[in-house]
Amino acid sequence: MQVERDTLIGMVHVGALAGTPLGGECISAITDRAVAEAALLDEAGFDAILLENMHDAPYLLRDVGPEIVAGMTAATAAVRSAVQVPVGVQILAGANRAALAVAQACGGSFIRAEGFAYATVADEGLLHEADAGPLLRERKRLGAQVSIWADVQKKHSAHALTGDLDIVELAHGTAFMGADAVILSGPATGRRADLDQVRRVSDALDIPVIVGSGVDATTVKPTLAAAHAVIVGSAIKIDGHWANTHDPEAVKRFVDAAR
């Protein structure tokens, strides 16, 4: 997927899947809700939709198990059939090759990749090996026409291991490793990114820069002035909390403010 200026990407947080601590709901109910939420975002004017298994917390690191891959495949295939806009996949935590396979199988256009370049200490553990080399080789092997959007200093993480590198240098390194776009976020879900950092990275890179957290109807315009695109979840949910379902009025306010 080519990221154009002022692109709005809406989050669909897929319900807790089989075997996870909060799981237990049947897959048909999970996929029906994902489809309904995606359709709402599509009709409201979002340019793309990103599916993520955030309800599966606490997360496994990289190897999430076949049941999670199967569940995300079912949800992604159902959403892809229901909407007109591009669909992306993220499988937590750092299961980038699984996300790529799901996107390839279901007609997805992009994935969001954690641990693509450099090492970091996340709440699910140490991401000690960069995934860029294996991931790009897997994309080549599959012949997948799937873009890779890579987090730089991913949220819910400590970054002392790379503390001697400026955010621009980290973004340069991520681009050098082959990311199609980079994502800058705040320290946690719903927390704002540093717009000065976003501007500096946007000025320095030749690939799109996406803001991946903390954007709402009051900040979307200045954020899009600094970045190519935004990913929004919490701000368009009931009570502004990521775990709730979408609030149609909040969805409309966000799109109206952005446009």
CB atoms within 10 A of CB 111: 30
Buried-state track 48-65, b at ≥16 Cβ within 10 A, e below 16: bbbbbbbbbeebbbbebe
The pair of structure tokens assigned to 128 is: 């000690």
- Residue 114: burial class (beta carbons within 10 Å; 0-12, 13-18, 19+): buried
The pair of structure tokens assigned to 9 is: 């990407």
Asked whether residue 60 carries a pLDDT value surpassing 90, the answer given is yes
Q: What is the mean pLDDT of residues 128-138?
A: 97
pLDDT digits (tens, 9 = 90+) for 68-123: 999 999 999 999 999 999 999 999 999 999 999 999 999 999 999 999 999 999 98
Domain that holds residue 247: 7-258
Asked whether residue 132 carries a pLDDT value surpassing 90, the answer given is yes
Helix axes 248-258 and 27-44, enclosed angle (nearest 10): 40
Q: Hey, is 96 helix, strand or coil? A: helix
Count of domains in the chain? Answer: 1
Residue 238 inside a domain? The answer is: yes
Distance of CA 47 to the CA centre of its chain: 14
Residue 67 inside a domain? The answer is: yes
Residue 184 inside a domain? The answer is: yes
Residue 44 inside a domain? The answer is: yes
Residue 183, pLDDT score? 98
pLDDT digits (tens, 9 = 90+) for 215-252: 999 999 999 999 999 999 999 999 999 999 999 999 99
Buried-state track 208-244, b at ≥16 Cβ within 10 A, e below 16: bbbbbbbbbbebbeebbebbbbbbbbbbbbeeeebee
Residue 223, pLDDT score? 98
Identify the CATH number of the domain in which residue 62 sits: 3.20.20.70
Look up the pTM and report it: 0.96
Q: What is the mean pLDDT of residues 26-32?
A: 98
Q: What is the mean pLDDT of residues 141-148?
A: 98
- Strands 120-122 and 125-127 come out as antiparallel
The pair of structure tokens assigned to 242 is: 């990521």
Asked whether residue 14 carries a pLDDT value surpassing 90, the answer given is yes
Residue 2 inside a domain? The answer is: no
Asked whether residue 20 carries a pLDDT value surpassing 90, the answer given is yes
Instruction: Report phi then psi at 25, rounded to 5.
Output: -75, 145
Q: How far is CA 217 from CA 67, 74, 96, 202, in A?
A: 36, 32, 30, 22
Residue 1 inside a domain? The answer is: no
- Strands 120-122 and 48-52 come out as unpaired
Scan for tokens 């599509």, then name that residue: 42
Residue 111, pLDDT score? 99
Share of the chain above pLDDT 90, in %: 95
The pair of structure tokens assigned to 215 is: 């954007």
Residue 155, pLDDT score? 87
Residue 254, pLDDT score? 98
| Cis-peptide, bond into residue 243, ω within 30° of zero | no
